[in-house]
């Protein structure tokens, strides 16, 4: 081993707002203030960082001209219970999915999946 993963870093036009979305979605805590260029959410031994990128061109799933860049798979016990909650946080459903996952976009347009055991 050369190193260990410290953070996943996600660009956002408003780092604090997107950090708040993921903190609520994952039950984590936000470390940072509105207007900060770097905001971190932590909890359950995990860390996701968000950096200010005012000119971000979000992905346009599933268009390969603007690919997804990265995505998070978020395990849920019941997708039909979880879906309205993520939509209420500002996510939107995207085309695609399968027998054990559904595809969404966060408020900035980054794709993520809700996954479960089918």
pLDDT > 90: percent of the chain: 72
- Rounded average pLDDT over 98-102: 91
CATH class of 1-55: alpha beta
Vertex 54, ends 62 and 12: CA angle to 5°? 50
Q: What is the pLDDT of residue 16?
A: 97
What's the pLDDT band for 118 if we cut at 50, 70, 90?
low
Q: Where in the chain is the domain with CATH 3.10.180.10?
A: 1-55, 57-117
CATH number of 57-117: 3.10.180.10
Q: What is the Cα–Cα distance from 14 to 31, expressed in whole angstroms?
A: 14
Structure-block tokens of residue 114? 């809700």
Q: What is the pTM of this model?
A: 0.83
Burial of residue 80, with CB atoms counted within 10 A of its CB: 0-12 exposed, 13-18 middle, 19 or more buried:
exposed
């Amino acid at each position: 081993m050369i190193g260990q993963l410290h953070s996943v870093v996600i660009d956002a036009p408003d780092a604090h707002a997107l950090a708040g979305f993921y903190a609520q979605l994952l039950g984590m805590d936000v470390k940072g203030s509105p207007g900060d260029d770097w905001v971190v959410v932590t909890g359950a031994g995990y860390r996701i960082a968000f950096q200010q990128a005012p000119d971000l061109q979000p992905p346009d799933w599933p268009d390969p001209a603007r690919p997804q860049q990265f995505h998070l798979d978020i395990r849920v016990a019941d997708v039909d219970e979880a879906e309205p909650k993520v939509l209420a946080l500002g996510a939107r459903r995207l085309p695609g999915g399968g027998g054990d996952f559904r595809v969404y976009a966060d408020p900035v347009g980054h794709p993520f999946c809700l996954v479960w055991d089918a």
